Amino acid sequence: MNWLTDKLGSLGAPGAWIVSHGPQATLLLATVLGGLGMWLMLPRGNAGGRRLGALLAALAGVVYGSQLVPVGSDEWFSEAVFLILAAVTVISAACTITFRNPVYSAIWFALTLLGTAALFLFQGAQFLALATVVVYAGAILVTFLFVLMLANPKGHAYYDRVSWEAFLSATAGAVMVGILSITLMKAFTTSPDAPKLQPPSAEALEKDILNTEHVAHLGAHLFSEYLIAIEVAGTLLLVALVAAVSIVGLDESSRRAERAHDFHG
């Protein structure tokens, strides 16, 4: 790496910054690459460059991966599982927004949700994982699919071929990912008294929601500390339900009135 340091040093102030902030500069590079790649991959009318975009995004993923903090060798199995799940989630999320056929996008989104649920499960959040699957993959996304199939069986309308504000959305996503990853990296590497990744404490395994009576502890938390939030959320859902029913009812009675009108008059 010496020749690179020398070359960068000859560039003046920016080069010196890059030399002194090695990991951050790498992450910045990866973020820019990833943002550019995603922008190229997003559906933009008939513009090409999707393969190049995929290549750039994959490169960004590799650079991000090179900055991973290695864990102890006895944990290799769980780390491998985590990495595979994370890769599946990220790749399917990218496919969700870059595919042009809305049905395929929905399927990739389902895979993203499954990956997210698996990551939750991996962290011991059993209820959250399965609630994600039941609510999002099992109910909401099925409704999406239902509507997509009814609305546009042939796919590929004009509005499926372009994504609105492709550049702005790619930039916003890249900025967010970049800030998050750089902050996280700073927290875990630079400062000496930084929090380190640690296995859950014995106390948490014993008493908190990581123990075997997971749901009981979760329920106790929800219905004591967060009782008001739960009740308010329930009421909100009820209000939405009543509103939906009333809209349907109005529609039906007005249609009946119309038919009666047609019949009599």
Partner 1 sequence: MTAIVVEALVKIVLLCFALMTAAAYLVLLERWIAAWVQDRLGPNRVGIPLTKIKMFGLGQPLADGLKFIFKEVYTPSHVDKVLYIVAPISILAAALATFAVIPFGSVLPSDLGFPQPDGGPIRLVVAPGIDVGMIYVFALSSLAVYGVILGGWASNNKYSFLGGLRSSAQLIAYEIPLGLGILGVVLAAGSLRLDTIITSQATSGLWNVLVQPLGFLVFLIAAFAESARLPFDLPEAEQELIGGYHTEYSGMPLLLYLIAEFLHMVTAAFLIVILFFGGWHFWGLTGSSDEIGWGTAILRVVVLVVKVLATIVFMMMVRWSWPRFRFDQLMALAWKVMLPLGMVNLVLMASLVEYGEDITATWGRAFLIAGMWIATLLACLAAAWIAPLSGDNRPRMDAA
Give the footprint of partner 1 on this chain (CB under 8 A): 77, 103-104, 107, 110, 126-127, 130-131, 133-134, 137-139, 142-143, 145-146, 149-150, 153, 212-216, 255-256
The three-state secondary structure class of 165 is coil
Residue 57 burial (C-beta neighbours within 10 Å; 0-12, 13-18, 19+):
buried
Looking at the chain, list the stretches that DSSP marks H as alpha helix, in order from N- to C-terminal side: 2-9, 13-20, 22-41, 50-66, 76-98, 102-122, 126-132, 141-151, 158-161, 166-189, 202-207, 214-222, 227-264
Backbone angles phi, psi at 44, to 5 degrees: -130, 70
Shortest distance (Å) from residue 113 CB to partner 1: 10
Nearer to partner 1, 10 or 143 (CB): 143
Shortest distance (Å) from residue 56 CB to partner 1: 25
Nearer to partner 1, 60 or 114 (CB): 114
Shortest distance (Å) from residue 127 CB to partner 1: 5
Nearer to partner 1, 15 or 124 (CB): 124
Nearer to partner 1, 59 or 210 (CB): 210
Residue type, 216: A
Shortest distance (Å) from residue 118 CB to partner 1: 12
Cα–Cα distances in angstroms (integers) from residue 233 to residues 115, 154, 184, 228, 229, in the given order: 26, 38, 32, 9, 6
Nearer to partner 1, 139 or 239 (CB): 139
Shortest distance (Å) from residue 103 CB to partner 1: 7
Contact in structure between 231 and 225 (CB atoms under 8 Å): no
